[in-house]
Amino acid sequence: MSRTFSNRVKVSSRGTNVARNQTRPRIGPSRVAARNMPATIIRREKLTDGTQIAIAQVNDLYVCARFDAYENPLGPPVKFTGGHGRTAAHAWADKTVRVIRGF
């Protein structure tokens, strides 16, 4: 806490928990549009029969697929979107792993 020359306490008009840039006026759009992000593999599992299961994420799209040992797709990919896309993709992968492993 700082004091002035007349021993009075300085009081700021800004709150102490406010960042400097929050008190300034906004220039430009109020929300920046989402950019397309590169695909990221968020889960990969090798199975006992030599195949693999992978989940890739691109923004809010989750793509699941099964691959052989040389990473060639064994079937069409399954796409999940929306608020529960990640949960649904992991549930699909868990179910597929259980079916292939047998337990």
The whole-number pLDDT of residue 9 equals 67
Position 27 scores a pLDDT of 74
pLDDT tens, 17-54? 667 766 667 677 777 677 788 999 999 999 989 999 99
CB distance 41 to 77 below 8 Å: no
List of E strands, the chain: 40-46, 52-58, 61-67, 78-80
Average pLDDT over residues 59-76: 94
pTM: 0.65
pLDDT of residue 79: 97
